[in-house]
Amino acid sequence: MKDSLAASRELELVWPAAPYLDGYIRALQEGWSPDNLRAEVALEELERIRQYPDQFLAEQVDHEGKGPAVTLPDGSIVRRLPGYKQWMWDGEFCGVIGFRWQPGTADLPPHVLGHVGFSVVPWKRRRGYATRALQLLLPHIQKEGLPHVELTTDPSNVGSQRVIAANGGRLVERFTRPAVFGGAEGLRFRIVLV
């Protein structure tokens, strides 16, 4: 078996497209969710793909925030921000990394915990894929002109903290998540881009 550094070098980010969709579907069917806060997103996405696969793929890259509204963990619904997702690929689907922003500012609305989110399928974890995916994504984010991006994680999620730190992230605060996210403690990290 290859070491994790060599394996992560083979990782690439691909734009969601039909040639990769079967792998994404398999991951959802295996119980993986692209949303770390709402596991039920897996079933919702499977249904959307079943009904409208081309539309689903098109909505993964939404630079204008015109896609469908977003359901938060408490069930409330909010307007979608501009953003996009890229899929981690090493010859098969490995996970997703996404970026969202408000044009003209690094600030985010209170219901958006961070600019970047990522999720690796369980059978591909501990290979350095999330670290490499974030490394590959940051140059794309710089094109949006933001001075920094913020990422949040649970205090117990040491793996995500290591991913963020490996990409230059620094802890800026411990905070209490808004009630819509359960009010638990969170950690906010910042990666400076300029």
In CATH, what number is assigned to the domain containing residue 15?
A: 3.40.630
Alpha helices by DSSP H, the chain: 4-10, 18-29, 41-51, 53-59, 129-142, 158-166
Residue 152 lies in a domain: no
Q: Would 158 be classed as within a structural domain?
A: no
Tokens encoding 187: 């950690």
pLDDT digit string, tens, across residues 132-189: 999 999 999 998 889 999 999 999 999 999 999 999 999 999 999 988 888 899 999 9
Reduced to 3 states (helix: H, G, I; strand: E, B; else coil), residue 49 is helix
Q: What is the pLDDT of residues 107-127, one digit of tens each?
A: 999 889 999 999 999 999 999
Cα separation, 177 vs 184, in Å, equals 5
Query: In the predicted model, is pLDDT for residue 190 greater than 70?
Result: yes
For residue 95, count other CB atoms closer than 10 A to its CB.
24
The total domain count for the chain is 1
Q: Which domain holds residue 126?
A: 4-146
- Is there a domain that residue 18 lies in? yes
> Is 172 a domain residue?
no
pLDDT tier for residue 7 given thresholds of 50, 70 and 90: low
| pLDDT score recorded for residue 1 | 44
**81, part of any domain:** yes
In a domain, 159, yes or no: no
Return d(Cα 133, Cα 131) in angstroms, integer: 6
57 located within any domain: yes
The C-alpha atoms of residue 45 and residue 27 are separated, in whole angstroms, by 11
Residues 6 or more apart whose CB falls under 8 angstroms from that of 191 comprise 138, 148, 149, 150, 151, 164, 167, 168, 169, 170
